Amino acid sequence: MELGLISVDKWTVQAQAYFLTHLHADHTNGLSAKWAKGPLYCSPITAKLIPLKIPGLNRLLIRVLETGKTYSLELVSSRPGPKVLVQVTSIDAHHCHGAVMFLFRGEFGCELHTGDFRWETTNDKEIPGKEMLLEALKGDKVDILYLDNTYCNPSFSFPPRHVAAQQVIDVISSYPERDIVIGIDSLGKEDLLLRISEVLKTKIWVWPARLQMMHLLGFEESFTAQTCLTRVRAVPRNSLTVGMLQALNTVRPTIGIVPSGLPWGLKAIKKQFSSLGCIPPSSPVNSSQMDETTSSVTRVHQYIYKVPYSLHSCFSEIQEFIKLVQPSIMMGNLSSSFCYVNPNHFFGYMCRDIDASAHCKYLKPECIAEGKVVYGESTVECAQFNTVMINRVRATKLSRLRMRISWVNKMRRKRRGAKLEYVESFG
Ligand SMILES: [Zn+2]
C-alpha cells in the first residue's frame, strides 16, 4: 500500500488513518493526551480501555471496529487520480484483551498486520479466530505479512495456555501454607488469573490501577484490593525479583510465579540465544537446554517458579500461521530485541516470492531441525528490508499490469489485423 495512507501501531509518522492493535506499551509509543494526528481505529475493548491507559486522549478521534466485520475507507492518494479504497477487517489476535490483527485489502493487494498474537488453534475458544481470518481473506493469499516474531526461534515451544494455567494452579496447590505472588503486566493474563480464582475458589489481590482495569473488563467479582482476603496476589511483573521474594520470606513464607514465554535470567538467556542466531551473535550453546526452559515449569530459584504461559505464538504456531496465510513476503514486527530473529531466516522458504525472501538468508526445514541459523553479512537491517520488500511488491504489481496492458493491446491489434511480432516497450 502507498506510504502515508495508513499506520499500524506507529504514532509519529504521517498517515490518514491510524490503527491500534492493542494497548501494550511497545505498541503505543508516541500515543499521548496530546496526540491528534488523525482518526484512530481499534477494537471495542481497546476503545473502552483507552481512557485508563492513555488518559486525556481525545475520544472524538476513536473509531471502533467490530471484530470480524469489514469496513471500507476512502483515502486520498498523494498521486493524481481517484481515492484509494481500503477494506479493513479486524480479527481476534488472542493476545491480551482487545488485541486484534488488521487485514487490509484493496487495489494494492492484501496486507496482514498481526500486531502481537497467539495462534493456538487447538483451543476451542480460538477456532473462531481462524475461521474469521479465512473468511476475511475470501480465498486470497496475503501479499505482505507483518508478523509478531517475538518468539520466532525453534527453541521456543509452549504448551497451550489452558495447560500452562493448570501448571500454575498445581504450583499454587503444592504450597497450601504459603503466600503466592504472580508477576503480570498492566494488561494481559486476566484469563489465567480468572482460571486460578475459579479452580481454587479464591479472590486474587491486584494493585489499585489493575483493579480498575478488571472492573472495566467486567471481572471485578474475582479480584480484590484487600490483602487479608486472599493468599494469592498478582503484582507488577518487574517488581517480582529474587530480592523481593527474599524480603517477603523474612515476614511470611512466600512463593513467586512468573507466567511468561521468556526464560528466566536475562544474562544466561543472552548467552544461549546468541548461539541460535539472535542478536548479539557469539559462541554456540546447546539448544535443547532452551527447549527445556521454555516448554516446562522451571524452578528458577528457591522461591520462584517460571511457567511457560505465553501471550505470543511459539515457533511451531508461527510456522502453522504462515502455512495458512501463504504470504508473498513477510517482515517481523520486532526489529530489535535480545531475542530478535528475522522470520525470513526460518520461514523465507515458505513465502510465495522466494526471490524476495532471498534478500535475507533463510533456512530450509532440515536446517531448522538441527537448530542452525545463518547469521552474518547477508542479514539486512529491518528498515532496509522493508523498503526492498515494498519496492518488490510494487514492481510485481507493475509488471502484472504491464503484461495485462500488453495482452489487451495485442488483442486490439489482432482484431485490426496488425502484426503480432511487435514487442511492447514500457520503459
Ligand atoms: Zn502485546
Domain boundaries, the chain: 6-154+313-401, 161-307
pLDDT at res. 336: 62
Task: Output the CA 187–ligand 1 centroid distance in Å.
Answer: 9
Task: Output the CA 250–ligand 1 centroid distance in Å.
Answer: 35
Task: Output the CA 188–ligand 1 centroid distance in Å.
Answer: 8
Helix H segments across 23-124?
44-53
- Does residue 285 contact residue 275 with C-beta atoms inside 8 Å? yes
Task: Output the CA 263–ligand 1 centroid distance in Å.
Answer: 17
What's the topology of domain 161-307? Rossmann fold (3.40.50)
User: Running DSSP on this structure, what letter comes out for residue 280?
Assistant: S
**Residue 232: strand, helix, or coil:** strand
* Predicted confidence (pLDDT) at residue 423 exceeds the cutoff of 50: no
Its pTM stands at: 0.79
Task: Output the CA 293–ligand 1 centroid distance in Å.
Answer: 22
Task: Output the CA 19–ligand 1 centroid distance in Å.
Answer: 14
Task: Output the CA 157–ligand 1 centroid distance in Å.
Answer: 18
Helix H segments across 218-350?
242-249, 266-274, 287-295, 315-325, 343-347
CATH architecture of 6-154+313-401: 4-Layer Sandwich (3.60)
Calculate mean pLDDT across residues 223-244.
94
Task: Output the CA 423–ligand 1 centroid distance in Å.
Answer: 53
Segment 25-60, tens digit of pLDDT = 999 999 999 999 999 999 999 999 999 999 999 999
Task: Output the CA 213–ligand 1 centroid distance in Å.
Answer: 16
Distance from chain centroid for Cα 325: 15
Give residue 409's pLDDT band: very low, low, confident or very high (50, 70, 90): low
